[in-house]
């Protein structure tokens, strides 16, 4: 019974409808951003269920992120209401592979050992730690042959479904001749640990399907319809996985956009799109051309940019949407000015100051960064002005372990009765205080009816403890007492005090001595934390502020700005999108720029295309003339992608009046110059060669960082205003 009037089919255009209604046989839906590929895919699932072509459990739908899977589930539930019970198998390649593997773990093994269904999944840190052990067991020089590099090689092999046995000879001899052997040793070790890494999830599934046709048949029969979103980013292993499962019935529908292939660096192969028609003969290829997401300006800017890529299938996109605002472009003095400006813009949106795009909720706004280290400037700024935000795909700044530890120190110093803070840091760094010692402190504190810190004092005085633990505890308690007194002393600068607390307590040293790869990043975060303190009068004020902001975020209905990486934003859409950090070296990133040929650069350009096409109503691109990278300030040039934007769809904004005029030739780069001729790279070069710019750079380097966080004086004398690094 075909229900032609099904409400969920209404409103689809003819091509979308074809994609939804061509249920049997292979279908490839190849179309540009925002043309409704994901919507067609979701509707297709609803349609399959409504027509009774399959029960929910017989449908397999693969999405690129867990978030996308969740959203698709919600959509289907909305389309169908309560009609259907159960849900399709809907998730990422990895999450579905885990479910399959848990059922057949015992089929994965090396003859002696096999996996158990309870296997654990190692993260990258575990993986690297394990490889380190194996490398040093072979007496290889770990400096010359770092574990990370081996991890990268192994990931690459797994993405291509190459087990140690299948490794081509040349590759087995990589890593100073040890590649193949270490790979084998690593796989054996994982089995002993009853563990797998991410790459194994797919590879184990594929090898198991190949070795056990009966098991494969079982899964082929179960999944009668297979659907794949973001198909352009599948790698070889994922492709093999799909082909094996779809081979029997061939009811597979893949949707993708070659212009949005952004995971080549992780082994994704756009070629899979081209191979589809060969591997699934008779495949119907459907194209969509109408974009339903963005204004004509946004669409034209994105199309203009991507047209600089050579290797494209090529497609036309059009929209019926009303004209909107041009894509905005703005240059800033440094990354913090950029964050500050974006913060102000968002506050202005909130206040309803923008008639052209209507009222915007914070949930409608996203900041999409090229590299996650860019996030900190925004988090810092938003924290300071109390603008709620969420970081998608990672912990928020103030939720990170090292930040929570440091904050616990500050809390204890400010309020010595804060027992939770005491418990968090009493043995961080390790002070040789075991569970027993801590219990003693707890008991004594309870008996005396005093906070733990006071209890610890009693424990010391009454000699309940001995040895190293005792002297460490004595130092700790004395330290807190000293810092507490300093915090009360008006003459003491709280920023310096914070630094001292972290140093004298041994907390900073703990991370300095930590050899794990994330330690440098944590130290950077701690520096960033101390810097954030400058905005406040004292420790107490800072703590209150953070507590308030953090607390408000617990609420369900809270509106928040989203901050995420461009990679993480694939498939998503937001009315208002900010795209900061469009600078050569950051975006496109340095690696792509150094590479021979244009492969890496084209992938970066596709990433830029993904970024712009996330926006529905307003996209704002920005760049900064100075950025702190790995703890050092560096000057930077606007991204070459800025030059590639079609000028007729771009409006160049002049940075706020704070910069206007007086900065002279050097600042022209950020404003007037870009405004009159943003395509003239020679003009940029002129600016950089100008004596004014050089003088500013020299002084900025001298002072290491642009400082002066607090002064918001705009009406100061010009001479004072233009001092280097003064970030009004
Ligand atoms: P991307 O390439 O970015 O993943 P996409 O092709 O998957 O994009 P969708 O996310 O499915 O595009 O759709 C983009 C937007 O257009 C969504 O808000 C969707 O609801 C809307 N849309 C899609 N098709 C239609 C239609 N026929 N009528 C109205 N709105 C539509
Ligand atoms: Mg999509």
Count of alpha carbons within 13 Å of 76, Cβ hemisphere only? 26
Nearest residue to 493 (alpha-carbon basis) of 545, 534, 529, 531: 534
Ligand 2 centroid distance, CA of 322 (Å): 22
Residue whose CA is closest, atom 30 of ligand 1?
A: 292
Determine the average pLDDT of the residues in 510-516: 86
What is the model's pLDDT at position 125? Answer: 65
337 annotated as ligand-binding: no
Whether the pLDDT of residue 468 is over 60: the answer is yes
Which ligand 1 atom is the nearest neighbour of the CA of 613?
A: 3
- Provide residues with CB under 6 Å of ligand 1: 11-13, 16, 31, 33-39, 257, 260, 292-293, 571, 573, 613
Ligand of minimum distance to the alpha carbon of 291: 1
- Compute the mean pLDDT over every residue in the chain, rounded to the nearest whole number: 83
d(CA 614, CA 565): 12
Lowest mean pLDDT among 23-37, 66-80, 411-425: 66-80
| Predicted local confidence at residue 396, as pLDDT | 67
Kindly report which listed range (332-346, 354-368, 516-530) carries the lowest average pLDDT score. Answer: 516-530
Q: Determine if residue 506 is labeled as part of a ligand binding site.
A: no
Q: Ligand 2 centre from 596 Cα, in Å?
A: 32
CA-to-CA separations, 151 to 97, 138, 357, 414, in angstroms, rounded? 21, 16, 47, 44
Q: How many residues does the chain have?
A: 728
Q: Measured from the CA of 16, which atom of ligand 1 is nearest?
A: 27
Tens of pLDDT, residues 112-141: 888 988 888 777 767 887 898 899 888 888
Q: Which atom of ligand 1 is nearest to the CA of 230?
A: 4
Query: Which of 42, 29, 92 has the alpha carbon at shortest distance from 64?
Result: 92
Which residue, by CA, sits nearest to atom 19 of ligand 1?
A: 36
Q: What is the mean pLDDT of residues 478-498?
A: 92
Bond before 187 cis per omega within 30 degrees: no
Ligand lying nearest the CA atom of residue 613: 1
The neighbour count for residue 11, using CB atoms within 10 Å, is 12
Residue 483 is encoded by which pair of tokens? 């810092």
- Asked whether the beta carbons of 44 and 236 are under 8 A apart, the reply is no
Half-sphere exposure of 666 toward its Cβ, with a 13 Å CA cutoff? 21
- What is the set of active-site residues? 37-38, 229-230, 260, 614
* 502 SS3 class: helix
Residues in a beta bridge with 61: 90, 227
Give me 173's structure tokens. 């001899």
Question: Which DSSP symbol is given to 586?
Answer: B
Give pTM, 2 decimals: 0.74
Residue ID of nearest Cα to ligand 1 atom 13: 36
Segment 303-323 shows an average pLDDT of 88
Residue 564 token pair: 């995420």
Which atom of ligand 1 is closest in space to residue 572's alpha carbon? Answer: 3
Residues with CB under 5 A from ligand 2 (ion): 37-38, 571
31 is in an annotated binding site: yes
Instruction: Report the pLDDT value the prediction gives residue 4, as an integer from 0 to 100.
Output: 53
SS (H, E, C) 628-650: EECCEEEECCECHHHHHCCHHHE
Question: In this structure, which ligand is nearest to the CA of 258?
Answer: 1
What is the 45 CA–ligand 2 centroid distance (Å)? 15
How remote is the CA of residue 38 from the centroid of ligand 1, in Å? Answer: 7
Q: Atom 29 of ligand 1 has which residue's CA nearest to it? A: 292
Ligand 2 center from residue 423 Cα (angstroms): 46
Task: Establish whether 264 is an annotated binding residue.
Answer: no
CA nearest ligand 1 atom 20, residue = 39
Say if residue 35 carries a ligand binding annotation.
Answer: yes
Could you write out the DSSP letters of every residue in 201-238?
HHHHHHHHHHH-HHHHHHHHHH--EEEESSGGG-BHHH
Residue of 7, 292, 607 with the most ligand 1 atoms within 8 Å of its CB, for mutation = 292
The answer to whether the beta carbons of residues 624 and 349 sit under 8 Å apart is: no
pLDDT in tens, 341-387: 999 999 988 877 666 677 789 999 999 999 878 888 898 788 888 88
E-state strands within 252-364? 252-256, 284-288, 327-334
Percent of the chain beyond pLDDT 70? 85
| Helix, strand, coil percentages in the chain from 3-state DSSP, rounded to 5 | 55, 10, 35
Ligand 1 binding pocket mutation candidate from 16, 28, 34 (most atoms within 8 A of CB): 34
Listed as own residue / partner, the contacts of 434-440 with beta carbons closer than 8 Å and 24 or more positions apart are 434/469, 437/465, 437/469, 437/473, 440/464, 440/465
User: Which of the four pLDDT bands, split at 50, 70 and 90, describes residue 218?
Assistant: very high
Q: Is 165 annotated for ligand binding?
A: no
Alpha carbon nearest to ligand 1 atom 2, residue: 33
Atom of ligand 1 nearest to the CA of 614: 3
Cα 608 to ligand 1 centre (Å): 19
Residue nearest ligand 1's atom 4 by CA: 571
Q: Which atom of ligand 1 is nearest to the CA of 291?
A: 16
- Interhelix angle 198-211/213-222, rounded to 10 degrees, is 110
Q: Could you give the 3-state DSSP secondary structure of residue 315?
A: coil
660 CA to middle of ligand 2, Å?
Answer: 42
Whose CA is closest to 581, among 370, 350, 438, 327?
370
Segment among 243-247, 323-327, 674-678, 694-698 with least mean pLDDT = 674-678
What is the per-residue pLDDT for 356? 65
């Amino acid at each position: 019974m075909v229900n032609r009037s099904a409400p969920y089919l209404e409103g689809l255009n003819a091509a979308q409808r074809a994609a939804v209604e061509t249920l049997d046989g292979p279908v490839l839906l190849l179309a540009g951003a925002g043309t409704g590929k994901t919507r067609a895919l979701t509707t297709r699932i609803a349609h399959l269920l409504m027509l009774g072509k399959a029960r929910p459990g017989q449908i397999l739908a693969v999405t690129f992120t867990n978030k996308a899977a969740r959203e698709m589930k919600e959509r289907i539930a909305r389309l169908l209401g309560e009609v259907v019970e159960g849900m399709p198998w809907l998730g990422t390649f990895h999450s579905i592979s885990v479910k399959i593997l848990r059922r057949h773990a015992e089929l994965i093994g090396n003859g002696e050992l096999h996996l158990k269904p309870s296997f654990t999944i190692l993260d990258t840190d575990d993986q690297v730690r394990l490889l380190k052990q194996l490398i040093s067991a072979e007496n290889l020089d770990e400096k010359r042959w770092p574990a990370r590099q081996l991890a990268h090689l192994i990931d690459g092999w797994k993405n291509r479904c190459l087990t140690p046995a299948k490794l081509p000879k040349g590759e087995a001899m990589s890593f100073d001749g040890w590649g193949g052997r270490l790979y084998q040793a690593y796989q054996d070790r994982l089995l002993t640990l009853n563990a797998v890494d991410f790459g194994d999830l797919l590879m184990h599934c594929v090898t198991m399907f190949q070795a056990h046709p009966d098991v494969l048949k079982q899964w082929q029969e179960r999944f009668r319809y297979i659907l794949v979103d973001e198909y352009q980013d599948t790698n070889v292993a994922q492709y093999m996985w799909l082909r094996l499962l779809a081979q029997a019935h061939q009811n597979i529908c893949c949707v993708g956009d070659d212009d949005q292939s952004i995971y080549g660096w992780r082994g994704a192969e756009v070629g899979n799109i081209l191979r589809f028609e060969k591997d699934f003969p008779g495949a119907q290829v459907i194209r969509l051309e109408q974009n339903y997401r963005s204004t004509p300006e946004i669409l034209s800017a994105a199309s203009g940019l991507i047209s600089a890529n050579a290797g494209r299938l090529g497609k036309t996109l059009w929209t019926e949407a009303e004209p909107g605002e041009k894509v905005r472009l703005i240059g800033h003095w440094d990354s913090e000015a950029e964050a500050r400006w974006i913060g102000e813009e968002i506050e202005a949106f909130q206040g309803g100051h923008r008639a052209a795009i209507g009222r915007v909720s914070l949930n409608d706004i996203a900041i999409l960064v090229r590299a996650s280290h860019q996030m900190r400037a925004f988090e810092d700024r938003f924290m300071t002005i109390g603008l709620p935000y969420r970081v998608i795909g990672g912990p928020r700044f103030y939720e990170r372990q090292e930040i929570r530890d440091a904050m616990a120190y500050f809390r204890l110093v400010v309020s010595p009765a804060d027992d939770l803070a005491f418990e968090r840091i009493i043995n961080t760094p390790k002070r040789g205080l075991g569970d027993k010692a801590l219990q003693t402190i707890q008991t004594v504190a309870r008996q005396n009816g005093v906070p733990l810190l006071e209890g610890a004092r009693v424990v010391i005085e009454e000699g309940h403890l001995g040895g190293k633990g005792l002297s460490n505890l004595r130092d700790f308690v004395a330290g807190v007492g000293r810092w507490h007194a300093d915090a009360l002393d008006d003459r003491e600068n709280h920023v310096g005090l914070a630094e001292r607390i972290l140093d004298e307590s041994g907390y900073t040293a703990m991370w300095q001595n930590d050899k794990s790869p994330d330690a440098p990043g944590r130290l950077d975060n701690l520096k960033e934390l101390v810097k954030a303190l400058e905005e406040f009068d004292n420790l107490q004020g800072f703590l209150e502020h953070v507590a308030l902001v953090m607390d408000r975020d617990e609420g369900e209905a809270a509106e928040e700005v989203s901050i995420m990486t461009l990679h993480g934003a694939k498939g998503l859409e937001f009315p208002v999108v900010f795209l900061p950090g469009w600078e050569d070296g950051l975006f496109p990133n340095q690696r792509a720029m150094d590479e021979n040929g244009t492969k890496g650069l084209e992938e970066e350009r596709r990433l830029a295309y993904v970024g712009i096409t996330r926006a529905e109503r307003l996209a704002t691109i920005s760049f900064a003339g100075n950025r702190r990278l790995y703890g050092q300030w560096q000057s930077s040039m606007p991204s070459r992608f800025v030059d590639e934007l079609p000028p007729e769809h771009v409006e160049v904004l002049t940075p706020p009046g704070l910069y206007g005029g007086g900065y002279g030739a050097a600042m022209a780069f950020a404003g007037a110059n870009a405004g009159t001729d943003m395509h003239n790279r020679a003009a940029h070069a002129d600016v950089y060669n100008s004596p004014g710019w050089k003088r500013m750079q020299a002084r900025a380097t001298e002072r290491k960082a642009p400082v002066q966080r607090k002064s918001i004086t705009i009406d100061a004398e010009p001479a004072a205003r233009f001092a280097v690094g003064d970030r009004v």
